[in-house]
Structure 1
Amino acid sequence: MNQSLIFDMDGTLFQTDKILEVSLDDTFNYLRSLDQWEAVTPIDKYREIMGVPLPKVWEALLPNHDTEIRDKMNDHFLIRLVENIRSGKGAIYPNVEEIFEYLKEKGCSIYIASNGLIEYLDAIVTYYQLDKWVTETFSIQQIQTLDKADLVKMISQKYKINKAAVVGDRLSDINAAKENGFVSIGCNFDFAREEELAEADFVIDNLLELKELIHHVR
């Protein structure tokens, strides 16, 4: 088929919600131990902005804290996320392995483009052995602009991709597809928002629905 599919990670392939609350709560407990936080852990606020790069996450969650504290919390959060992944507390979405196997059999190339950090993505890919199917995983850390559209552009240039679909649950994924002239496929999963999915070319409720959509990749 000579087609490519570029997948988001959080909320698309990986069920981030399974480790998000415990990791974030632990991080804010650490912040409380430094006498830098008294309120409840802002898990709902995080869910609202899910999908943006972590530096922007901490700007939103800790608007009144300095960069040093934000960086410290970012580092602690990353450690907790990775530990929870490696201990098996997370999960990939149903049918990830089945759809990846199907796509490879059909001759499609699979990539991951994520706003997650490199160490975090490596932990997921390694634990769930996704590299059996995925050609390469790309992190927003590799792009100075922290713009997913630029990350997808980097993938397309490196692998000389002309036909592709970007599969993800948030507007950043949909926009990344549009700005690169690719098909956008929105995933109506945990963190998806109806108004954002309305911008996608197609919307799926299950990854297996990709079997019926790959012929639209142009």
Structure 2
Amino acid sequence: MERLKELYNKIGNNSICFLFINKNKNKKIGGIFLSVLLFDLDGTLVETTRLSIPIIHAEIKNYPHLKVPNPKKIQSAFGLPHKEFWELLTPDATEQEVRMISERSEKELLESLKTENVLLPYAREVLTELKRRGHILSTASNCSTAYLNEILNSQQIKDLFYEPLCIERVGGRKKKDILLAHFQHLNKSDAFMIGDRSSDIEAAKAHHVPAIACHFGYAEDGELEDADYHIYCLKDLLEIFN
């Protein structure tokens, strides 16, 4: 009961009637299905490459023996866990060099986010409306805890999410580990994974939940073919979860 009270306080007064129908497998109440919507961040809700790419370039250039990756390669790394991200971009760097480049890049990016609007078109409006309709929103991102917190705070969307998680916060190695953490207290049978990379689809498949592919992010051609749903604008979610 305490868990239900906590969830009630986080998702809002208008949604309390839905908290008690999870065991009924999405029983329809008042024309609305309660769903658990797990969002990726970069390429799904936010677009930060105009900030992050110049920062990464500048930091790698501090090490003349390292090849500076082109913007397309950096963009292709978005969505990867931290270790894989830097292995792709700086394959010849030592562990210490990777640590320094990573820490300095993140520090500068977090500072830049404080004064920048990086939300994708309609993100705030769609999230607000989905929550108003009674759906539970949370995050599942392969980012650091500091980055997750800065995005939620600087973009003023923290209050829209219930217990937002990222790979660092759960101590995971793959995105499926984030979903596993969510499903310790959220109903898996009501869940959808929403993201723009194959890692989002793979995480959804690992837990047998539907994947919604966002075709406005960083995916390569054909990368999202295995998704269960396909959207081309965030507003499309309002049609799926009407």
With the length of structure 1 as denominator, give the TM-score of the two structures.
0.89
Match of 2:128 among 80, 101, 104: 101
C-alpha deviation, 1:123, in angstroms = 0.8
C-alpha deviation, 1:20, in angstroms = 2.1
Q: Secondary structure at the match of 1:112?
A: strand
* Other-structure match for 2:59: 27
Quick one: which amino acid aligns to residue 2 of structure 1?
Answer: L
Q: Secondary structure at the match of 2:213?
A: strand
Would the aligned equivalents of 1:121 and 1:139 in 2 still touch at CA under 8 Å?
A: yes
Would the aligned equivalents of 1:24 and 1:41 in 2 still touch at CA under 8 Å?
A: no
Quick one: which amino acid aligns to residue 20 of structure 1?
Answer: S
Identical columns (%): 27
Q: Does 1:61 align with 2:93?
A: no
Q: Give the Cα separation in 1 of the matches to 2:144 and 2:171.
A: 13
Deviations 1:142-182 (A, max 9, x none): 34441101111111213344311110000010111111121
Using a 3 Å threshold, how does the CA distance of structure 1 residues 137 and 145 change in structure 2: closer, same or farther? closer
* Other-structure match for 2:104: 76
Match of 1:18 among 50, 54, 67: 50
Q: Secondary structure at the match of 1:26?
A: helix
Would the aligned equivalents of 2:141 and 2:166 in 1 still touch at CA under 8 Å?
A: yes
Deviations 1:176-213 (A, max 9, x none): 11111211100011312231111111111101101121
Would the aligned equivalents of 1:99 and 1:210 in 2 still touch at CA under 8 Å?
A: yes
> Structure 1 unaligned runs (5+)?
none
Would the aligned equivalents of 1:27 and 1:76 in 2 still touch at CA under 8 Å?
A: yes
Quick one: which amino acid aligns to residue 190 of structure 1?
Answer: G
Aligned-pair RMSD on alpha carbons? Answer: 1.7
> Structure 2 unaligned runs (5+)?
1-32
Match of 2:189 among 162, 168, 186: 162
Q: Which runs of 4+ in 1 moved over 6 A?
A: none
Using a 3 Å threshold, how does the CA distance of structure 1 residues 160 and 203 change in structure 2: closer, same or farther? closer
The more displaced of 159-168 and 177-186 is 159-168
The more displaced of 180-189 and 138-147 is 138-147
Q: Secondary structure at the match of 2:164?
A: strand
